[in-house]
């Protein structure tokens, strides 16, 4: 059964549809939140809050929009509010004059051992995930939306509430920075 019909049933008050939507999106939503906040406990808390927010707002959802983009926007807004409360600096985009392009908070985070790095079994994936974690949140999220969630640029623009040109330039900068980070941490490594 499609997402649209599940959403329509939920709007009519069918709680089975809620369970189906949670089952459908649980892994992707949790992964996205974990990429944003990096701490599993915080990601779990935000995961629960996202579904609570959905229960409150589902009647305001415009069915002409992509449900997926709407759901990820809810999650993103909660994560950004959370980060703003606990780590305000982590939301800054890197200053273009900074050769490393890192914020102070991102630098602090990169010096600490990665929390989710240990989750991944494969060493190279772990390294790539580790490098991803050192990026500022605005870059991490655009990378995870594009490559892990496989969203189109238009959908990413909806989630971020940003123009398409901003999404493109942010994606390019995030890839540049990821590559720089990989080369700096693991010189001469083949990433195949």
Partner 1 sequence: MSEHDEVRELLSLAAAGALDSSEEERVTRHIRSCALCSSALDDWRLIAGGLRRLPTPQPSRGMVERARAMAEIRFGEEAERRWNRNVMIFLVAFAWVLTLLSWPLVRLVSDGLQGLLDPRFNQAWIGFAGLTTLGWLGGGVAAVLLSIRQRRERRLA
Tell me the closest approach of the beta carbon of residue 43 to partner 1, in angstroms.
Answer: 8
Residues 98 to 127 in contact with partner 1, rule: CB under 8 A:
116, 119-122, 124-125
Residues 49-108 that bind partner 1 (CB under 8 A): 51-52, 54-56, 59
Can you tell me which of 3, 80, 105, 129 binds partner 1, judged by CB under 8 A? 129
- Pull the structure tokens for residue 189: 């490594």
**Contact by Cβ (8 Å): 37, 85:** no
Q: Which 8-state DSSP code applies to residue 122?
A: S
Half-sphere exposure of 188 (CA within 13 A, CB side): 0
Q: Which single residue is written with the structure tokens 């655009």?
A: 142
**If DSSP states are collapsed to H, E and C, what string results for 72-85?**
HHHHHHHHHHHHHH
User: What is the phi/psi pair of residue 14, to 5°?
Assistant: -85, 110
Q: Which of 6, 47, 68, 79 binds partner 1 (CB under 8 A)?
A: 47
Binding residues for partner 1 (CB under 8 A): 13, 15, 18-19, 22, 26-28, 30-31, 34, 40, 43-44, 47-48, 51-52, 54-56, 59, 116, 119-122, 124-125, 128-129, 132, 143, 146-148, 150, 153, 168, 171-172, 175-176, 178-179, 182, 190-192
């Amino acid at each position: 059964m499609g997402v649209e019909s599940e959403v329509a049933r939920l709007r009519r008050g069918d709680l089975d549809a809620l369970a189906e939507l949670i089952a459908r999106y649980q892994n992707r939503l949790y992964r996205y939140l974990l990429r944003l906040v990096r701490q599993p406990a915080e990601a779990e808390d935000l995961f629960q809050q996202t579904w609570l927010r959905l229960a409150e707002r589902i009647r305001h959802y415009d069915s002409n929009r992509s449900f997926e983009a709407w759901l990820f926007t809810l999650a993103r807004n909660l994560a950004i509010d959370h980060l703003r409360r606990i780590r305000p600096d982590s939301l800054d985009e890197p200053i273009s004059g900074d050769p490393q392009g890192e914020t102070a908070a991102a630098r602090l985070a990169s010096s600490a051992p990665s929390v989710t790095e240990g989750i991944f079994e494969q060493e190279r994936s772990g390294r790539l995930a580790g490098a991803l974690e050192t990026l500022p949140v605005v870059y991490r999220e655009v990378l995870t939306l594009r490559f892990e969630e496989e969203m189109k640029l238009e959908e990413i623009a909806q989630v971020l509430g940003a123009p398409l040109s901003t999404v493109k330039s942010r994606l390019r900068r995030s890839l540049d920075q990821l590559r720089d980070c990989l080369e700096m941490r693991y010189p001469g490594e083949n990433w195949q």
